[in-house]
Amino acid sequence: MEKVLVTGASGQLGSELVAALREKYGVMQVISSDIKETNDDPNFLMLDILNKTRLREIVVEHKVTQVYHLAAILSASGEWDPKKTWNVNLNGLLSILNLGRDGLINKIFFPSTIAVHGPHTPKQDTPQFTDFTPSTVYGISKVTGELWCNYYHQRYGVDVRSIRYPGIISWKTKPHGGTTDYAVEIFYDAIEKGTYECFLKEDTMLPMMYIDDAINGTIQLMDADKEKLSLRTSYNLAAVSFTPKQISDLIKQKMDNFSISYKPDFRQAIADSWSQTIDDNYARKDWNWNPKYDLEDIVETMLKNLNIKLNG
């Protein structure tokens, strides 16, 4: 019987991953944890990922078998405090990997990101193996994290699996501190204000993915036969790529009065350093990755669900 611990569980990805894992394993088999208290979760534990002793205690006490380690500081917020970002993103991961090395847990999931790419990486169809010279501390921490995952797998046999997520679009929990966050904010502002001021230029193309695809892909990778996995750094994963103008044009088709303006800030340089489209052949070949949502599906699903959430 699996017992799963999810760190960073209150975040955009965590909140929906916990729900999906609970459908699969049962509510009491999946412990959600985060640095902040939450009161509406029957199986929640407060955990600062830098507290190694508490982490180990939880794993031993609850006989945890798998950890989905989502706790991290993202690309834009990371730039405000590089040292803290490095500490949280890297030392948190090392504590989890050590639990795998010591035989306390059987499987680990580590989320990586398109932020591992940098200004010298080819922007179109970015290959699995390419230049990794990111310009953000978040990107640096994630490339290093990938290398540690690979090292722990090769040296200690730790079963650690990872995906390089693009920007994730969802309506249940808002993202915080990322460069791709505009692609969620735009829907909130369209519904609440009828207008959106975008912090990226209109022609900034970035890879994105709807949350259901991200969750399904994650669980698919974690369920995959380990003999089929040829990569223990992190898998490139693609779904859609679009610009602020393209998504706003589709929103306008559904909301006549919607308008958008552009006021690029420091996040523009981050976005400019990332890939635009991704080659995810390894994921397709090794574990049959196949996303379902295109941009039109995303716009329709987001507007429908957010309208209900915000307007009842």
Task: Tell me which residues touch ligand AKB (CB under 6 A).
Answer: 74-75, 113-115, 138, 165, 167, 178-180
| Shortest separation between residue 12's beta carbon and ligand AKB, angstroms | 8
Task: Output the smallest distance, CB 154 to ligand AKB, in A.
Answer: 25
Least distance (Å) from ligand AKB to the CB of residue 146? 13
Beta-carbon contacts of 265 under 8 Å, excluding residues fewer than 6 positions away, are 199
Q: Is residue 182 annotated as a catalytic residue, yes or no?
A: no
Q: Closer CB to ligand AKB, residue 138 or residue 289?
A: 138
Strand 66-69 relative to strand 44-46: parallel, antiparallel, unpaired? unpaired
The CB-nearest residue to ligand AKB is 178
Q: Are 151 and 142 in contact (CB under 8 A)?
A: no
Cβ-in-10-Å burial (0-12, 13-18, 19+) of 166 comes to buried
> What is the strand order of the sheet 44-46 is part of?
44-46, 30-34, 4-7, 66-69, 107-113, 159-165, 235-236
Nearer to ligand AKB, 174 or 292 (CB): 174
Selecting among 25, 68, 138, 293, the annotated active-site residue is 138
Nearest distance in Å: CB 133, ligand AKB: 17
Sequential DSSP letters for 31-93: EEEESS--SS-TTEEE--TT-HHHHHHHHHHTT--EEEE-----HHHHTT-HHHHHIIIIIHH
**Closer of 64 and 76 to ligand AKB (Cβ):** 76
Q: Which is nearer to ligand AKB, 74 or 88 (CB)?
A: 74
Active site residues: 138
